[in-house]
């Protein structure tokens, strides 16, 4: 098993709800409506809760279905003290020189609180809405060239590149980022693995059963080793944790019961047309059906019935969720990007229930706990494991 875990939360910039909220990979947010707008006031509450319980960073998504990640996190920096922001970003939207400059500016003004999640692109229809008409293979080629330029600029080099999709002459940065932000990257297709092995610091994957995750870790680790590199591994997954297993599963069933079957059918029809290999793998876990959604111990595929992208959740008592996180850690996962509905309350369930258990096991330490914060306390709920 590797060293201590890094645990992150999620900022719902498409809105939040006590029910599941749709969105991503061509799925509109109206399929399961958000009732808490993604205002700076509300997102600040979520960010402060994540900061208070000891999470290191918060992922902010990208896409036409949510608020812009750069602008939103830049505003939230002033309302938080030490929480880092994992900004999802699509290379096709701006030049690599400007992106490298933005990252450097963000680091200076935030005190080094930027992590960068490179997203090669959504579905082609969404990409065309942004004026991007490359196919999937072309987008990955562009991402590789984009990161080649950005990495060189961050090293202080002057860059000339005449690539297939990226061209710069005499590109340089007057001021370098300090520290250089780590690059997070995901993708399940063969070309995605190659780009991850060449350029990512952390390879992100969605919450498939542990054995499938173990296989992905081995695949990317081998590709990186062939290039003389080492990569950390992260898991993007939802969580429903309560004092007892019965209470957690009751919450999962409540989330599912609130969704109109017609909405599930419409979402699944759209996701079936996705070009994403990762999305195909997510759909294969439930096959579009609400039956048999516990696809592995404490692993529930119900979120993926209505939401594109990450579609599974860890469901159980605090001790059970900690057990599953430990199992994924043993499979090679170093970092977890977690979320739950609603994100404000679920951050506290994690912080008061699961994180102290992980800390007691020596697997996790809070990023920078407040002296009287819950992350500094003992595992008060560990005995209520609902086994």
Cβ–Cβ under 8 Å, residues 204 and 235: yes
Plot region of 268 (φ>0 → left; ψ -120 to 50 → alpha; else → beta): alpha
Residue 288 CB-density burial (10 A; 0-12 exposed, 13-18 middle, 19+ buried): middle
Region for 187 from its dihedrals, namely left if φ exceeds 0, alpha if ψ lies in -120 to 50, beta otherwise: left
Looking at residue 333, its pLDDT comes to: 98
Please report the sign of the dihedral spanned by the C-alpha atoms of residue 71, residue 267, residue 210, residue 297: positive
Architecture of domain 6-237+316-376: Alpha-Beta Barrel (3.20)
- The tokens describing 182, both together, are 């780590």
- Report the b/e string of 154-188 with b at 16+ CB within 10 A: beeeebeeeeeebebeebebeebbeebbbbbbbbb
Cβ count near 223 (within 10 Å): 19
C-alpha to C-alpha distance for 303 and 366, rounded to whole angstroms: 28
Domain residues of the chain, as ranges?
6-237+316-376
Per-residue confidence (pLDDT) for residue 24, from 0 to 100: 64
Say how many C-beta atoms besides its own lie within 10 A of residue 116's C-beta.
23
Closest to 54 in 3D by CA, of 346, 372, 356, 375: 375
Q: pLDDT tens, position by position, for the chain (387 residues)?
A: 556 899 999 999 999 999 998 766 555 555 455 789 999 999 999 999 999 999 999 999 998 889 999 999 999 999 999 999 999 999 988 999 999 999 999 999 999 999 999 999 767 888 888 888 999 999 999 999 999 999 999 999 999 999 999 999 999 999 999 999 999 999 999 999 999 999 999 999 999 999 999 999 999 999 999 999 999 999 999 999 999 999 999 999 999 999 889 888 888 888 888 888 888 898 888 888 888 899 999 999 999 998 888 899 999 999 999 999 999 999 999 999 999 999 999 999 999 999 999 999 999 999 875 455 554 454 444 444 444
Q: What is the pLDDT of residue 382?
A: 46
pLDDT at residue number 30: 52
pLDDT of residue 372: 57
Which pTM value belongs to this model?
0.93
């Amino acid at each position: 098993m590797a060293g201590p875990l890094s645990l992150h939360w999620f900022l719902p910039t498409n809105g939040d709800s006590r029910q599941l909220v749709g969105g991503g990979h061509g799925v509109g947010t109206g399929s399961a409506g958000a009732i808490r707008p993604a205002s700076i006031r509300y997102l600040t509450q979520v960010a402060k809760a994540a900061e208070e319980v000891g999470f290191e960073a918060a992922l902010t998504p990208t896409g036409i279905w949510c608020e812009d990640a750069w602008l939103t996190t830049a505003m939230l920096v002033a309302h938080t003290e030490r929480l880092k922001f994992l900004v999802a970003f699509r290379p096709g939207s701006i030049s690599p020189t400007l992106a490298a400059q933005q990252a450097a500016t963000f680091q200076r003004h935030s005190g080094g609180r930027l992590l960068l999640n490179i997203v090669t692109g959504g579905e082609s229809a969404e990409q065309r809405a942004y004026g991007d008409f490359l196919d999937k293979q072309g987008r990955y080629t562009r991402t590789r060239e984009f990161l080649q330029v950005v990495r060189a600029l961050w090293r202080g080099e002057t860059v000339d590149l005449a690539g297939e999709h990226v061209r710069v002459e005499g590109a340089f940065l007057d001021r370098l980022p300090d520290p250089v932000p780590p690059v997070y990257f995901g993708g399940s297709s063969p070309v995605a693995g190659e780009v991850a092995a060449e350029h990512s610091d952390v390879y992100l994957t969605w919450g498939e059963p542990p054995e499938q995750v173990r296989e992905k870790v081995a695949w990317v680790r081998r590709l990186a080793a062939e290039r003389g590199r080492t990569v950390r591994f992260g898991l993007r997954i939802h969580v429903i944790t309560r004092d007892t297993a019965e209470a957690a599963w009751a919450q999962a069933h409540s989330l599912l019961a609130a969704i109109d079957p017609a909405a599930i059918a419409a979402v699944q029809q759209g996701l079936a047309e996705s070009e994403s290999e990762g999305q195909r793998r997510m759909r294969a876990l439930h096959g579009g059906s609400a039956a048999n959604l516990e696809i592995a111990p404490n692993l529930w595929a119900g979120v993926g019935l209505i939401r594109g992208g990450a579609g599974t959740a860890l469901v159980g008592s605090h001790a059970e969720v900690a057990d599953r996180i430990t199992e994924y850690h043993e499979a090679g996962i170093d970092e977890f990007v977690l979320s739950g509905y609603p994100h404000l309350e679920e951050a506290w369930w994690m912080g008061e229930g699961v994180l102290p258990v992980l800390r007691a096991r020596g697997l996790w330490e809070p990023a920078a706990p407040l002296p009287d914060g819950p992350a500094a306390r003992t595992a008060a709920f560990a005995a209520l494991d609902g086994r």
